[in-house]
Amino acid sequence: MTQTRTQTDPDRALKAKHAAMWAMGDYPAVATEVIAPLGPALVEATGVHRGDRVLDVAAGAGNAAVPAALAGADVVASDLTPDLVETGRQAAAAAGATLRWEVADAEHLPYADAEFDAVLSCVGVMFAPHHQEAADELVRVLRPGGRLGLLSWTPEGFIGRMFATMKPYAAPPPPGAQPPPLWGDEGHVRTLLGDRVTGVDARRQTLPVRRFADGAAFRDFFKRTYGPTIACYRGLADAPDRAAELDAALAALGDDALREGTMGWEYLLVTATRA
């Protein structure tokens, strides 16, 4: 098996922190109650079919891995967070899907070169802090002629705006870490992948979200379920005035996005073929 670079102690510490963040709250509730349609859309766009060897990177609760397995593919679902791997394993079993679940770092995938026919990530790999290292691994484990499918929130879309709203209240990122919504910028993704892929198709699409009656309901749901939001508020535990400011800002963001009971959450769907 090939690794792109050697992991350092600071890198391991950063990944442990990331794993702990995503174990906070109840991310599977986000996956099942809000963004469930994204996984099947990614699987369909990538052309996953029976017999394919498929890797879902940063699989979370299995939004893409489970529908890929139900389509008859031989699926490995990998994620940095052991809690999500276990929750995903249980959810897959309940759905009647057979697949392997493994703890793995998107920047140091424990798989052989060219091992998979398709590699997917549904709003997952975008949260790996070092974008080029993650992109290199996605391409490395994909066979020539294999299909890559990536779905990421855009910087200008609702979730990108949510991260921008939280940024002044959050701890600064570690040196070298890049903003997750950059994966929702077509030019950035094309640069990451370079000439190692062909036939790149990038489409901005919108997920209709009807889960929230108003901005406050959106804010409170994310404060309860979503690791990055929970971590941001924990950092404000000794600054109640700042936490109240963030409360108001997130509620206003949600209210501004609602149109007749529906929010539109924009994402970028990228498919490509390994050269």
CATH number at residue 197: 3.40.50.150
| Among 145, 167, 159, 189, residue whose Cα is nearest residue 53 | 145
**CA angle centred on 152, ends 95 and 201, rounded to 5°:** 100
Query: Is the predicted pLDDT of residue 4 greater than 60, yes or no?
Result: no
Query: Is the predicted pLDDT of residue 228 greater than 60, yes or no?
Result: yes
Q: Report d(CA 79, CA 56) in Å as an integer.
A: 8
Q: What is the mean pLDDT of residues 97-118?
A: 98
Q: Is residue 254 part of a domain?
A: no
pLDDT of residue 9: 81
For tokens 């002044």, name the residue.
Answer: 168
Q: What is the mean pLDDT of residues 214-222?
A: 98
Count of structural domains, the chain: 1
Four-point Cα dihedral 115, 59, 122, 99, nearest 10: 60
| Among 149, 151, 150, 152, residue whose Cα is nearest residue 181 | 152
State both tokens at 243.
Answer: 């936490």
Q: Is residue 251 part of a domain?
A: no
pLDDT of residue 248: 98
For tokens 């020539």, name the residue.
Answer: 144
What DSSP letter does each residue of 177-188 carry, written as one string?
---GGGGG-HHH
Q: Quick check: 184 and 122 in contact, CB under 8 A?
A: no
Q: Is residue 247 part of a domain?
A: no
Tell me the one-letter amino acid at 36. Answer: A
Q: Is residue 234 part of a domain?
A: no
Q: Report d(CA 80, CA 209) in Å as an integer.
A: 27
Q: Is residue 225 part of a domain?
A: no
Give the number of other CB atoms < 10 A from CB of residue 201: 11
Query: Is the predicted pLDDT of residue 3 greater than 50, yes or no?
Result: no
pLDDT of residue 7: 72
Q: Is residue 220 part of a domain?
A: no
Q: Is residue 56 part of a domain?
A: yes
Q: Quick check: 33 and 211 in contact, CB under 8 A?
A: yes
What percentage of the chain has pLDDT greater than the value 90?
A: 95
What length does the chain have?
A: 275
> What does the pLDDT look like over 145-156, one tens digit per residue?
999 999 999 999
Q: Please give the residue range of the domain that contains residue 56.
A: 9-210+264-274
> What does the pLDDT look like over 169-183, one tens digit per residue?
999 998 899 999 999
Query: Is the predicted pLDDT of residue 1 greater than 70, yes or no?
Result: no
pLDDT of residue 2: 44
State the pTM of this model: 0.95
Q: Is residue 63 part of a domain?
A: yes
User: 64 — alpha (psi -120 to 50), left (phi > 0) or beta?
Assistant: alpha
Q: What is the mean pLDDT of residues 84-103?
A: 96
